[in-house]
Structure 1
Amino acid sequence: MREYTTQMDAAGKGIVTPQIAEVLKNETISQELLMERVAKGHIAIPANRNHTNLRAAGVGEGLTTKINVNLGVSKDVCSFDGEMKKAELALKFKADAIMDLSVSGDTEGFRKRLVKDIPVMIGTVPIYDTLTRTGKATEDLTIEDWFKTVEIHAENGIDFITIHAGLTSKCVQSITTNPRLCGIVSRGGSILFEWIKKTGTENPFYEHFDRLLDICEKHDVCISLGDGLRPGAIKDSTDAPQIEELITLGELTKRAWERKVQVMIEGPGHVPLHEVEMNMKLQKKLCHNAPFYVLGPLVTDIAPGYDHITSAIGGALAAMHGADFLCYVTPAEHLRLPSIEDVKEGIIASKIAAHAGDLAKGIPGAIDRDNAMSRARGKLDWEGQFEQALDPEKALTYRDSSRPKDGGDVCTMCGDFCAVKRVEGLL
């Protein structure tokens, strides 16, 4: 019989699991502090026992900011092989997690393939898959339908599941009496909103939260408590429905921790710059310092085609003020299913944001790579610069596309006016 049920339970008992050891190997935090924070729920290590090839990662206080890559097929673009290439690209550029948001085809087969071949933590949204799996209209879904899907995902080896358990009947009333410019933009949130409105019953994951905890405890699945009422417009940011749901998520977090089930909290969304810090601190306060996982946040609504940039701006600020996990956004956001090129752009933008946040938070060792890059630049050591670059191939391509005519070691921006070259040997 196992000595522990979940990573949180193990940490509370002083047991260093292989997953905890893996996190210690890749972070600068001490073992004592990591164990304390995992035991309290301030750090989560999503690690389903059925994901046997997982390279575990920690999300939370004092750790490097992690990034997630969303992928998955739709009815209109349904190529699981294409999505697998995106997953492999995510590994190449050192993403920390992948979420499969597929809503068509053999979703279970693809999940199993991801878990078998991808060694980073995998997340899903079982609410979507309940519709796909059953083929039923939303109002015809039963309690058993909802929880059967969760059980399948847990058995498939999914490490964290997004569950919008905080979107209660009370929240439905709140958004009805506090109309928004852009309504509900969460797919999972809209499905549950529709189910509550059409059936006249409570959110099944809120009403039967203990049943959800039973499944997650059994397989050590981390619950990513979804923000079904996250703002999808700058004007709707930090409104009553968003905060109403966040308060409920804080209450559910305590219930999960009582069962030693790990939790992350999902956050906005579209948030103007001056409200980002407040949103981060509000979540940490209301949700008892649980790890915070944010989509963006996007700091303006007017940049379709460039939302990886609006997201990176908000993501860097969010990470600086306490966000632990950034969900990437691609240039295709709001427009289409992203291509593999879009995925790469989104990953790099999110990696920049996460690293900038780590520098601002003073994560030990975060600045080492920047210092190595600066030393290489100060010596016009191009190979050294490429070695430290987030995307070495792109940097080399730019360098090769425009070389100095005399073959020198400067670049074509400055040439003979290169500041580094001019003071060489004088400093």
Structure 2
Amino acid sequence: MSIVADAKKGIVTEEMKIVAKQEGVTEDFVRRGVAGGHIVIPTSPYRKVKICGIGEGLRTKVNASIGTSTDIVNIPEEIEKAKQAELAGADTLMELSTGGDFVEIRKQVIANTKLSVGCVPLYQAFIEAAIKDGAVVHMKEDDLFRITAEQAKLGTNFMAIHTGINWETVKRLKHQGRHGGLVSRGGAFMTAWMLHNEKENPLYTEFDYLLEIMKEHEVTLSMGNGMRAGAIHDATDRAQIQELVINAELADKAHQENVPVIVEGPGHVPIDEIAANVTLMKRMSNNKPFYMLGPIVTDIAPGYDDRVAAIGAAISSSCGADFICYVTPAEHLALPTPEEVYEGVMSSRIAAHVGDMIKLKKTRELDLEMGHARRDLDWERQFAVAMNPARAKKIRSERMPADTDGCTMCGDYCALKIVSRHFKF
């Protein structure tokens, strides 16, 4: 029986109890959220994972994506990326390799992390067709579903499945056009396959069969965003909204069949459209957990896109997004290094917390504690509350002042010390 089916029957599972304790909410709050389709808890019958609740009323979660490319296939480095993501505080991991031995890479990554691991089965199906038969358009429909089941058996907890691309979606894309083209690999693969073969997307036509696979292997379904904008001038266009319409309808069907489901959102969105996107996504999907990919809020800062995405993620979280996919400084430029993975996770964690300060008022308590610690020049308390204590300690120790109560920013003219002579706060 699935966790959704249990929740609908009024059963509070061990996973729900863990999430309730983590989040400081009641067990029944979590159960009702799962039963209503507003909360998911990715699990797998094939491996034990660090339990993580995603959805309404819970802390905004951060996903880190790793994986090889056709240019760089280095399994030890991917394992190190997984470890750095977990060390930096990522809540989940996505393994998105497009080069090398897909099965071996995923096995190694899963074996070296406690986090829930997601994937995109479509990548492997299309790339294997390209290697074997010369082009992605020769992908066999049966292989797509076979690979989905095989990846689930490896212990994958959630899967991005591109169900919302159909002839109506492609028609909207063709009629409106795009300034930035089609940037989703999954969206590009499936659209090319449909146009070449003059056939409908099998993930759409055989959605019932897909749900059977999800149920059998207890996988959380993430409705892929294949029409997401890759340039802010394409944000909230007809193709994106058409795909959302389809995904929202299918997400309802998945929940009815007791399959946990997440709905994915757009990638490049200017800040004045973020709130509208979150509201639209939530309303159309009946408040399913919303997975925001970034978003990137300006297209002219390559090398700093972790910061660009953090701006978008903070706003998205504050408006109600439940799940954030990190972006690294290398986005749009190169495959990220383990160090860049760590930086990307930290940037997104900060953004998620900033959003939660608005969405979940209780998360401001840590900021209040930091304010008190700084007022009292209590450095150990400051480090204890800091999101990255090791970095804070390192910076201070490298530039330790003569007067260890203060810091080298103000030196002898510390505002806190001056005022403390006259006021007792």
* TM band (smaller chain): over 0.9
Q: For 2:256, which of 248, 255, 258 is the aligned residue? A: 258
Match of 1:380 among 377, 380, 389: 377
The aligned counterpart of 2:29 is 33
Aligned counterpart in structure 1 of residue 397 of structure 2, from 396, 400, 411? 400
Q: Which residue in 2 is equivalent to 1:88?
A: 83
1: CA distance, partners of 2:404 / 2:34? 53
Question: What does residue 278 of structure 1 align with?
Answer: 276
Tell me the TM-score normalised to structure 2 length: 0.96
Q: Alpha-carbon deviation of 1:191?
A: 0.4
* Structural mapping, 1:172-251, within 5 Å: 172-251=170-249
1:76-107 deviation digits (Å, cap 9, x = unpaired): 11111111111111111221000001111122
- Equivalent residue in structure 2 for 1:63, among 51, 58, 61: 58
Q: Deviations over 1:105-136 (max 9, x none)?
A: 12212222333331111100001111344534
CA deviations 1:295-317 (Å, max 9, x no partner) are: 11111111000111110000000
Q: In structure 1, what is the equivalent of residue 338 of structure 2?
A: 340
Percent same amino acid at aligned positions? 42
Q: How far off is 1:387 after superposition?
A: 1.7
C-alpha RMSD over aligned residues: 1.2
- Provide the C-alpha distance between the structure 1 equivalents of 2:409 and 2:53, rounded to a whole number of angstroms: 42
Instruction: Say which of 64, 69, 75 aligns to 1:74.
Output: 69
The Cα shift of 1:24 comes to: 1.5
Given that residues 83 and 112 in structure 2 are in contact (C-alpha distance below 8 angstroms), is that contact kept between their aligned partners in structure 1? no
Number of the residue aligned with 2:17: 21
Answer with 383-392 or 38-47: which moved more: 383-392
Amino acid corresponding to residue 38 of structure 2 in structure 1: H
SS in 2 for 1:249: helix
Q: Hey, what's the Cα distance between the residues in 2 that align with 1:398 and 1:106?
A: 41
2:15 maps to a residue whose letter is Q
Whole-angstrom distance in 2 between the partners of 1:272 and 1:417: 41
CA distance in 2, matches of 1:164, 1:224: 9
Spell out structure 1 runs of 4+ moving beyond 6 A. none
Give the secondary structure class of the aligned counterpart of 2:420: coil
Q: How many residues align?
A: 420
Q: Give, in whole Å, the separation in 1 of the partners of 2:153 and 2:12.
A: 24
Distance 2:110 2:408 in 1: 46
CA distance in 1, matches of 2:229, 2:377: 46
1:420 aligns with 2:416: yes
Q: Which amino acid aligns with 2:89?
A: K
1:103 equivalent to 2:93? Answer no
**Secondary structure, counterpart of 1:367 in structure 2:** helix
Contact kept, 8 Å, 2:12 with 2:28, in 1: the verdict is: no
Give how far 1:391 is off: 1.7
What is the letter of the counterpart of residue 177 of structure 2? P
Of 203-212 and 408-417, deviating more is: 408-417
State how 1:295-374 maps to structure 2 within 5 Å.
295-364=293-362, 366-374=363-371
Segments of 5+ residues of structure 1 without an aligned counterpart are none
Question: What is the distance in 1 between the residues matched to 2:226 and 2:157?
Answer: 20
SS at match of 1:162: strand
Q: Distance in 2 between matches of 1:257 and 1:362?
A: 26
| AA partner of residue 306 (structure 2) | H
- 1:48 corresponding residue in structure 2: 44
Separation of aligned partners in 2, 1:384 and 1:242: 46
Q: What SS does the aligned partner of 1:289 have?
A: coil
Report the CA distance between 1:376 and its aligned residue.
1.5
The amino acid that maps onto 2:166 is T
For 1:34 and 1:407, how far apart are their aligned partners in 2?
49
Quote the Cα distance in structure 2 between the aligned partners of 1:72 and 1:110. Answer: 8
Rounded to whole Å, the distance in 1 between the matches of 2:13 and 2:153 is 21
Displacement, 1:327? 0.3
Contact 2:89 2:346 in 1 (8 A): no
Q: CA deviation at 1:180?
A: 0.8
Tell me by how many angstroms 1:373 deviates. 1.7
- SS across alignment from 1:423: helix
CA contact (8 A) 1:320 1:360 kept: yes
1:149-172: CA deviations, max 9, x gaps? 101111111110001100111111
2: CA distance between counterparts of 1:45 and 1:68? 14
Q: State the 1:423 CA deviation.
A: 2.2
Residue pair 1:295, 1:326 contacting (<8 A) in 2 also: yes
Aligned residue number for residue 121 of structure 2: 126
| Cα distance per residue 1:334-390 (max 9 Å; x no partner) | 0000011211111111000100111111253x1222222222211111222122212
Partner secondary structure for residue 264 of structure 1: strand
Q: Which residue of 1 aligns with 2:138?
A: 140
